[in-house]
């Protein structure tokens, strides 16, 4: 196995958390790399001999100007999810091979979503809040008639990698699962329905569609109003999928609930009602890989580097034509 000349391109903070001693050891065994050299700006970087870029969050765009100074660059291995922020059209025109650890990053998002679905239907957060503030028992069945997960309906919006994994994780539970995706042509073993039908039928609506011009405010005022009384909206995808003003208005009535990990803007302003509404669980974009979960992305990307070094095709390769329908 040859050791291709590799350059690490990501933010210094990400490199510190991602490239742990075990990752460093494997990286240097697979490639010819200086593990202490981390580039977060290609200006002035010596790319003349670089064959592979090992990237993650914080990698600057690989533009035509960058490629002009990197005549031997032939692969980008991304130890994170989306490559849209740094893999430019110039890379595809050059024929550069691209791999992504999106499959590894999908796992914690799907796990977060599963937990949110089960807690939402069981009304865990609401009951915990009431119990903590009143410090006494209540007739929970009277407060939340029919609460629980048995035979409830979960709607998955987007048969993306994460959406499909959520569907898989839900299989052991006695739930009815619906999926809405205009590009879905295969049978996922659950009912494939139009989005408006999914929204109207579901006790939980979970968003897993990419952020594209045509998906902006996919959950608009009309669709939010069409959600069932007591239903929960979960967004671990992108804030732009939801009309946030319309969501706040609907949530303020107390009619529906929400579990929100992504917003627009990324951090809501201090006065946002999302921070104080009792029917909202707001988290700061933590569903994806963090902490020990970064090791899963590192493992996948190192496996891809090893395949490249052996002359094998990527197992998790990214194709340019798929980016128009992905995150």
Question: CA torsion, points 212, 39, 76, 36, in degrees to nearest 10?
Answer: -140
Cα–Cα distance, 90 to 315 (Å, whole number): 23
171 classed as catalytic: no
Q: Which of 238, 257, 307, 316 does the annotation list as catalytic?
A: 238
According to DSSP, the residues that pair with 62 across neighbouring strands are 87
Residue 270: Cβ within 10 Å count: 6
Active site residue 238: yes
- In terms of Cα–Cα distance, which of 88, 115, 323 is closest to 210? 323
C-alpha span between 211 and 217 (Å, rounded): 9
Q: Give the CA diameter of the chain.
A: 71
Euclidean distance between CA atoms 269 and 289, whole angstroms: 25
Active-site option among 25, 168, 266, 315 = 266
- Assess whether 214 carries a catalytic annotation: no
Structure tokens at 303: 């496996």
Q: Evaluate whether 97 touches 108 at the Cβ level (below 8 Å).
A: no
Q: How far apart, in whole angstroms, are the C-alpha atoms of residue 33 and residue 14?
A: 17
**Active-site annotation holder among 285, 293, 296, 325:** 285
Instruction: Show the DSSP H helices in 140-288 as ranges.
Output: 140-143, 161-170, 195-201, 221-226, 244-252
Q: Tell me if 296 sits within 8 A of 107, measured CB to CB.
A: yes
Question: Could you give the residue numbers annotated as active site?
Answer: 238, 266, 285
């Amino acid at each position: 196995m040859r050791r291709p000349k590799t350059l690490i391109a990501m933010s210094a903070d990400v490199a510190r958390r991602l490239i742990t001693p075990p990752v460093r050891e494997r990286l240097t065994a697979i490639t010819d790399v200086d593990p202490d050299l981390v580039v977060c700006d290609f200006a002035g970087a010596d790319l003349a001999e670089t064959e592979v870029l090992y990237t993650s969050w914080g990698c600057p765009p690989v533009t035509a100007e960058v490629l002009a100074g990197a005549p031997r660059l032939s692969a980008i291995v991304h130890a994170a999810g989306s490559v849209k922020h740094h893999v430019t059209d110039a890379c595809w025109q050059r024929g550069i091979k691209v791999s992504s650890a999106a499959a590894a990053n999908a796992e914690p998002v799907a796990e977060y979503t599963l937990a949110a679905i089960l807690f939402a239907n069981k009304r865990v957060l609401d009951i915990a809040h009431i119990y903590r503030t009143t410090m006494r028992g209540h007739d929970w069945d009277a407060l939340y008639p029919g609460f629980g997960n048995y035979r409830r309906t979960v709607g998955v919006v987007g048969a993306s990698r994460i959406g499909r994994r959520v569907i898989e994780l839900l299989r052991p539970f006695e739930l009815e699962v619906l999926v809405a995706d205009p590009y879905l042509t295969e049978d996922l073993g659950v009912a494939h329905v139009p989005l408006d039908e999914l929204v109207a039928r579901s006790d939980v609506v979970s968003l897993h569609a990419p952020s594209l011009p045509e998906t902006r405010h996919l959950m608009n005022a009309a669709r939010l109003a069409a959600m069932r009384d007591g239903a929960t909206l979960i967004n671990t995808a992108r804030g732009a999928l939801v009309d946030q003003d319309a969501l706040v208005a609907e949530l303020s009535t107390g009619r529906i609930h929400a579990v929100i990990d992504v917003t627009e803007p990324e951090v809501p302003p201090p006065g946002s009602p999302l921070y104080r509404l009792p029917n909202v669980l707001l988290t700061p974009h933590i569903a994806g890989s963090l902490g020990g979960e970064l090791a899963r992305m590192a493992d996948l990307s190192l496996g891809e580097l090893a395949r490249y070094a052996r002359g094998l095709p990527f197992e998790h390769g990214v194709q340019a034509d798929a980016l128009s329908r992905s995150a």
